[in-house]
Amino acid sequence: MYIPQSQRYADGRMRYRRCGDSGLRLSEISLGLWKNFGRTVPLSEVEGMIHTAFDCGITCFDLANNYGAPHNGSAEENMGRVMASSMKPHRHEMVISTKAGFDMWEGPYGRGGSRKYLLSSLDESLKRLGLEYVDIFYHHVYDPETPLEETAMALDSAVRQGKALYAGISNYSLKQTRRMTEILKEMKTPFIVNQISYSMLNRWIEKDGLDVWAAENGVGLTVYSPLYQGLLTDKYLAGVPKDSRIGKGDTWLGPDIDSGLKAKLRRLSSLAEKRKEPLSQLALSWILRNSAVASVIIGASSKEQIVENCGCLKAADFSEEELLSIEKILEE
């Protein structure tokens, strides 16, 4: 029987931030179940990682209908199994999110932003998860073919039907977020968050102005791929390990590793070393310095990675000098 660590909230191992202007506080680190939580991974490993995360004070678990590909839905199924076997008593302590938007099933209703797809998909997700509601239901990606009003109404219905507590969007630009926020505000939907990619190697939200706008307008940002799918760790400094995401060919990022990027990673890693931390922790702390961010969603292939990544919360604040050095490295 799983008994969570009794000190998980008491000793400051995790911090919790309000998501935008909402009353919902998210753990600064969330666990994402995109990869390594589907059908191809033994359930005991999946369960072990979820327990480790919860013991570290992580309360937020991020899913989507298609996670666990090529067996779409299998990450939700596994999360459902873990809930049933050990986590149900802690459901009220957890923020479980899911999404719909990308390709999920064949035919005209298995992708996009239509009311038909979003609400059918949420029903299917709840069945796989074995839950009555999710905490956040996200539209996964902007759909140019569906009027935003229709997508907004679907998110609003999900909440009013009691199937989601809050509504969110993902991968929406500043312009799209601004418009969606206007519509959802008018409908008084508890819309609180945009989930976007952001890291030292991917700063599009800064160029777009989304982070500044989100902070000023009370919309929280949850950040995915904060380690650029693992590149912002020490593991690739000496080459590509066979058992890594890139080594397994489980990502499109392989060709990105040229000599320029390797040099950048080495310089970031030695800066991290001076701070007596691994590169992963430097990269995560750097994201959390941005006050628009409510939570960084890490992925993991082992319990040890989760523990190491949560260790970033013990790191000292960045000095001005360190921030300037990081800027210089990233600009090169």
Ligand X SMILES: NC(=O)c1ccc[n+]([C@@H]2O[C@H](COP(=O)([O-])OP(=O)(O)OC[C@H]3O[C@@H](n4cnc5c(N)ncnc54)[C@H](OP(=O)(O)O)[C@@H]3O)[C@@H](O)[C@H]2O)c1
Site size toward ligand X, by CB under 6 A:
30
| Residue 269 interacting with ligand X (CB under 6 A) | no
The CB-of-137 to ligand X minimum distance in angstroms stands at: 13
- Nearest partner of 229 among 203, 258, 201, 205, judged by Cα: 201
| Alpha-carbon distances, residue 215 vs 250, 292, 294 (angstroms) | 34, 5, 10
| Residue 163 interacting with ligand X (CB under 6 A) | no
CA distance 156 to 159: 5
| Residue 170 interacting with ligand X (CB under 6 A) | yes
Using the structure block, give the residue that is written with the tokens 């064949």.
Answer: 106
The CB-of-130 to ligand X minimum distance in angstroms stands at: 19
CA distance 82 to 130: 10
Q: Which of 65, 125, 244, 285 binds ligand X (CB under 6 A)?
A: 244
CB contact at 8 A, 19 and 26: yes
Q: Which two tokens stand for residue 205?
A: 């939200």
CA distance 38 to 301: 11
Q: Whose Cβ is closer to ligand X: residue 33's or residue 119's? A: 33
| Residue 72 interacting with ligand X (CB under 6 A) | no
| Residue 68 interacting with ligand X (CB under 6 A) | no
Which x/- pattern, by CB under 6 A, does the window 121-160 give for ligand X? -------------------x--------------------
Which x/- pattern, by CB under 6 A, does the window 1-40 give for ligand X? -------------------------------xxxxx----
Instruction: Tell me which stretch binds ligand X (CB under 6 A): 119-127, 210-218, 229-237, 322-330.
Output: 229-237
Instruction: Tell me which stretch binds ligand X (CB under 6 A): 18-26, 43-51, 228-236, 253-261.
Output: 228-236
Write down the H helix ranges in 134-276. Answer: 148-160, 174-186, 204-208, 210-217, 259-274
CA distance 139 to 290: 24
- Classify residue 238 as exposed, middle or buried by CB count within 10 Å of its CB (0-12, 13-18, 19+): exposed
DSSP state of 68: T
| Residue 305 interacting with ligand X (CB under 6 A) | yes
Residues that bind ligand X (CB under 6 A): 32-36, 62, 140, 170-171, 195, 224-230, 233, 235, 244-245, 280, 297-301, 305, 308-309
